[in-house]
């Protein structure tokens, strides 16, 4: 999996500067460690169950932080924020739970405020916060 620093543009998916990476951690970059509010984890878990995805992706990502049995996961979750859209790998749940990764505060606030996945309010939030190219890609 490609490691991308938190809050960097996620340019491997789109050239849109408002699409920001969160949780793309790996051995080659450091990451913050700490406690994550269980309410944030629970809401993120809900969002990751059946996430809206504008792109079809092939293959899977494998956690390179695990010592023996590397967790495998596929897909991303898109969370509208304040003037941006955060994109995180579905494996962010694993990184928080197993490796104590602590996402940026603004991402955690966005997770708690995120409307239900695929709802009209969710789509409006994507459009209002820089996700227009994502919504257009999903319609193709």
- Structurally, the chain folds into a number of domains equal to 1
86: in domain: yes
Burial, 139: exposed, middle or buried (Cβ in 10 Å; 0-12, 13-18, 19+)?
exposed
C-beta of residue 131 within 8 angstroms of C-beta of residue 19: yes
Specify which residues 98 forms β-bridges with: none
> Which of 15-19, 20-24, 102-106, 120-124 has the least mean pLDDT?
15-19
- Identify which has the larger pLDDT, 89 or 1: 89
Q: What is the domain range of residue 107?
A: 19-25+35-139
40: in domain: yes
1: in domain: no
- Identify which has the larger pLDDT, 137 or 65: 65
Assign 138 a pLDDT band (cuts: 50, 70, 90). Answer: confident
Which tens digit of pLDDT belongs to each residue from 35-62? 999 999 999 999 999 999 887 776 777 8
Strands 61-62 and 72-73, by their bridges, are antiparallel
pTM of the predicted model, to two decimals? 0.93
Which tens digit of pLDDT belongs to each residue from 72-110? 888 999 999 999 999 999 999 999 999 999 999 999 999
125: in domain: yes
2: in domain: no
14: in domain: no
Share of the chain above pLDDT 90, in %: 64
4: in domain: no
9: in domain: no
């Amino acid at each position: 999996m490609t490691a991308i620093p938190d809050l960097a543009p996620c340019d491997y998916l789109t050239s849109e500067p408002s699409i920001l990476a969160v949780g793309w951690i790996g051995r080659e970059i450091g990451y913050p460690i700490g406690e994550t509010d269980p309410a944030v984890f629970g809401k993120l878990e809900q969002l990751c169950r059946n996430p809206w995805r504008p792109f079809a992706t092939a293959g899977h990502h494998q956690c390179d932080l695990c010592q023996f049995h590397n967790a495998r996961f596929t897909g991303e979750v898109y969370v509208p924020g304040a003037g941006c859209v955060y994109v995180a790998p579905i494996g962010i749940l694993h990184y928080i739970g197993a490796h104590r990764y602590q996402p940026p505060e603004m991402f955690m606030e966005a997770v708690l405020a995120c409307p239900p996945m695929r709802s009209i309010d969710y789509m409006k939030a994507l459009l209002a916060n820089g996700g227009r190219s994502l919504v257009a890609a999903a319609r193709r």
